Structure 1
Amino acid sequence: MDEAELCFPQLLNTSCKKHTRPHSESMLIYILLSFISLLTVVLNLLVIISISHFRQLHTPTNSIILSLAVSDVLVGLFVIPFQTLLMEPCWFLGDLMCSLWFFLAFITVPSSEVNMVLISVDRYVAICDPLHYSTRITQKRVQICVLLCWIYCVFYSFVLLYDNLNQPGRYNSCYGQCVINISGAVHIVLAFIIPVSTIIILYVRVFVVAVSQARARSVTVTVKKSELKAARTLGVVVAVFLMCYCPFYCVSLSRSDITMASSTNTFINLLVLLNSCMNPVIYAFFYPWFRKSVKLIVTLQILQPQSSQANVL
């Protein structure tokens, strides 16, 4: 075999062979992923700064949105750039870095899903039980739930990747590969079936109640228009999330085990990563407070004294 075709020519018998892709296709994918990565980081940082800085935005719902933005920023900073490296002909960062990257990816990406569950619960209580919303959904309780969300994701990633972390590179067939092996059944049940089923059930209930209240305007207890608007906006977020994640898990359902490597289908991975960029875009279209706060951030007015007290609602 020609040494130019090997990832590590000095390891003639154990080196992986380079897989090739048309140059034009590679450049298109790299440019697209780089653009998505940059846009994901910038837009979600704007969400994080907005909610953290302006006191009017310190609400339980926005605390969950803040947690979602943090997970999306981490996806933009670490997951997407390394996904680009996985598409290279060879992996040169070593087995340990390969396992650690997947460990981080299985924390940040599923955290988006769990945060979507929290958003669905928040909207369910706001629409279906508005009288008790302020007592049931408090800032402290939401913060505890968000913390538990991240603890769950770390634990989930550790359990799922225990063998890969304990012995990095154990599933590689040659040097220059970045391959992990996980239980497809566990992954699909914990990361897709349970959270997505919960989201769909809660939002169906929210939709039914919202429609019934819109028709029966004479009822004693009605949901605030602001709550209904928030439910619609976050419903769009959930719908986009499902459209981005479902293709990946539908492909996963066709196998009992999932082997994740550089040959993983580019399109379905791109959809999953694109979701982290879409959330702040949706906020920009539907939330006036986000547009106002971004204007104050971009014009550096947040550096002025008492800017945290500014009216952005």
Structure 2
Amino acid sequence: MSSLELCYPQLLNWSCRGLECLHSEAVLLYTLFSSIAVITVALNLLVIISISHFRHLQTPPNLLLLALAISDLLVGLLVMPVESMRIIESCWLLGDIMCSLSFFLSFTLTSASVGIIVLISIDRIVAINYPLQYINVCVCRVCVCVCVCWGCSFLYNGLILKDNFSLRDRHCNGECIVVNNYVSEAVDIVVTFIGPCSVIIVLYTRVFTVVVSQTHSMNSHITAGTGCKVKATKSQRKAAGILGIVILVYLFTFCPYYYPSLAGENNLQVLGIVTWLLYLNSCLNQLMYVFLYPWFKKAIKFIATLKILEQNSSHANML
């Protein structure tokens, strides 16, 4: 790294100074970040096409996965490229409005993803605890919950980041940072991390407890006519296991992001690393589907062989 001249030489005292990254390092970082973004977009696009096209996959749980895939797709398509430039380039050359919008978009999509993960946890606990009532859960209710989640995310982040649209002129030109006070930072940590994290862990603990309890009950009262009940228990255990993996990945990618705020760390390199680890969650979610959901593997083969273009292909059974 070496010193760099003013970001805007013509502005003199109003321009920021930056650091110049070596060409080889910049190429390597752009290649790495671009690869992650491409994989994220491709995998989420496959999930969206699969659930949208095949009617057998359009169930309430899968619609939540579809909503999560849309959010993650937008992260890979709109957020990751901008964040790559923010980390690698020392000067922000897209203007103050784009700087504020980039933070708003990033925070909104991240909050929406967290909200949908919470909805997925709620969906699993309802399906396992109240199977008869869960049968009556319609697609419309799931869509309403997703829309409410997105609406709350837009409203919440609009309030939290309102200062970024009014205080941009207080920074030198060529700098793009988020403006938050201590109150908004504390609220954000509670609303987007501590709160959802606590809810997800409590719900998963409840799911795991119910599954273990039902398994013991089945084993103690097993008879010749309880074959279907044992099968249902295995399905519940698999659902609980998938939810557990999703939660572990969520904690692995989100916890480091909030650690600098809690520890008072302001190192830009550390912030850049934990931010990209947070965005990596949008890619890891779909990688989990590839290995954990058999229907996703079948759908990928169907799409890759172009059978999806055949007539009545939407009625193909992927389950």
TM-score norm. by structure 2 comes to 0.90
The aligned counterpart of 1:307 is 313
Residue pair 2:214, 2:233 contacting (<8 A) in 1 also: no
Q: Determine the C-alpha separation between the residues in 2 that align with 1:49 and 1:154.
A: 25
How far the C-alpha of 1:224 sits from its partner, in A, is: 4.5
Q: Determine the C-alpha separation between the residues in 2 that align with 1:4 and 1:209.
A: 60
The aligned counterpart of 2:248 is 239
1:121 is the counterpart of 2:122? yes
Please list every run of at least 4 consecutive aligned residues from structure 1 whose deviation after the TM superposition is greater than 6 angstroms: 219-222
Q: Indicate how the Cα distance of structure 1 residues 285 and 162 shifts in structure 2: closer, same or farther if over 3 A, else same.
A: same
1:298 is the counterpart of 2:299? no
Q: Partner of 1:77: helix, strand, or coil?
A: helix
Gaps of 5+ in 2: none
Q: Determine the C-alpha separation between the residues in 2 that align with 1:24 and 1:96.
A: 31
Q: Partner of 1:5: helix, strand, or coil?
A: strand
1:266 is the counterpart of 2:272? yes
Q: Determine the C-alpha separation between the residues in 2 that align with 1:109 and 1:147.
A: 15
Q: Determine the C-alpha separation between the residues in 2 that align with 1:228 and 1:138.
A: 24
Q: Indicate how the Cα distance of structure 1 residues 300 and 171 shifts in structure 2: closer, same or farther if over 3 A, else same.
A: farther
Counterpart residue identity of residue 63, structure 2: S
Query: 1:28-43 to 2 correspondence within 5 Å?
Result: 28-43=28-43
Query: 1:278-297 to 2 correspondence within 5 Å?
Result: 278-297=284-303
Counterpart residue identity of residue 268, structure 1: V
The aligned counterpart of 1:157 is 157
How far the C-alpha of 1:263 sits from its partner, in A, is: 5.4
1:72 is the counterpart of 2:81? no
Q: Determine the C-alpha separation between the residues in 1 that align with 2:194 and 2:47.
A: 29
Task: Give the number of aligned pairs.
Answer: 306
Q: Partner of 2:8: helix, strand, or coil?
A: coil
The equivalent position to 1:250 in structure 2, one of 259, 270, 274, is: 259
The aligned counterpart of 1:140 is 140
CA-atom RMSD, angstroms? 2.2
Q: Determine the C-alpha separation between the residues in 1 that align with 2:244 and 2:59.
A: 18
Q: Indicate how the Cα distance of structure 1 residues 4 and 228 shifts in structure 2: closer, same or farther if over 3 A, else same.
A: closer
Q: Determine the C-alpha separation between the residues in 1 that align with 2:186 and 2:118.
A: 20
What CA deviation, in whole Å up to 9, does each residue of 1:45-71 have, x standing for no partner?
000000010011010000100000000
Gaps of 5+ in 1: none
Taking every aligned residue pair, what percent have the same amino acid on both sides?
Answer: 49
Q: Partner of 2:168: helix, strand, or coil?
A: coil
The aligned counterpart of 2:212 is 211
Counterpart residue identity of residue 7, structure 1: C
